[in-house]
Amino acid sequence: LFMKRTQRPVSEISSYPDAVSQNEIREKKRKEVKIFWERLQKSLANIIDKRSDATSVKRVG
């Protein structure tokens, strides 16, 4: 039986509704991960801004 590496034997392929639900779960996880990284980047940017404000020397004159 010749198959490409990306192919699975027919017996392992899930039914259509199962495949759809798995795709929905995958998409939900991707969105959650994307939101997590966006929030993390904003938090880090805020921390960096606060530190740079605290360490900067303000000149008078």
Predicted local confidence at residue 21, as pLDDT: 87
- The domain tally of the chain equals 1
31, containing H or E segment: helix 16-55
Q: Which domain holds residue 26?
A: 20-51
Predicted local confidence at residue 18, as pLDDT: 82
Predicted local confidence at residue 13, as pLDDT: 54
In single-letter form, the type of residue at position 42 comes to: K
Enumerate residues 6+ apart whose C-beta is below 8 A from 1: 9
The DSSP symbol for 2 reads: -
Q: For residue 58, what pLDDT band results from cuts at 50, 70 and 90?
A: low
Please check whether residue 41 lies inside any domain of the structure.
yes
User: With b meaning 16 or more CB within 10 Å and e meaning fewer, what string describes 19-30?
Assistant: eeeeeeeeeeee
For residue range 14-35, what is the model confidence (pLDDT) as tens digits?
567 888 888 899 999 999 999 9
Task: Enter the tokens of residue 6.
Answer: 């990306």
Please check whether residue 26 lies inside any domain of the structure.
yes
Please check whether residue 9 lies inside any domain of the structure.
no
Percent of the chain at pLDDT exceeding 90 = 38
Predicted local confidence at residue 31, as pLDDT: 95
